[in-house]
Amino acid sequence: MTAALVSLLATALLIVAFIAWRRRAGRRQRALSQVLDAADALEERLRTARSEIEAVAGSDGNPVREAMQEMLRQRLWLQQHGQDASLEQLGQVRDSIVAGRVKIDQQLLKIERARAPSVH
The rounded average pLDDT for each run of 10 residues, N- to C-terminus, in the chain (120 residues) is: 75 78 77 85 82 69 73 83 86 85 81 72
Which residues have C-beta within 8 Å of that of residue 39, sequence separation ≥ 6?
71, 74, 75, 78, 97
pTM, two decimal places: 0.60
111, with CB counted inside 10 A (0-12, 13-18, 19+), is: middle
Q: CB–CB of 39/74 below 8 Å?
A: yes
Q: Residue 96: count other Cβ atoms within 10 Å of its Cβ.
A: 16
List the chain domain ranges.
Answer: 26-115
DSSP SS3 for 114: helix
Q: What is the pLDDT of residue 58?
A: 64
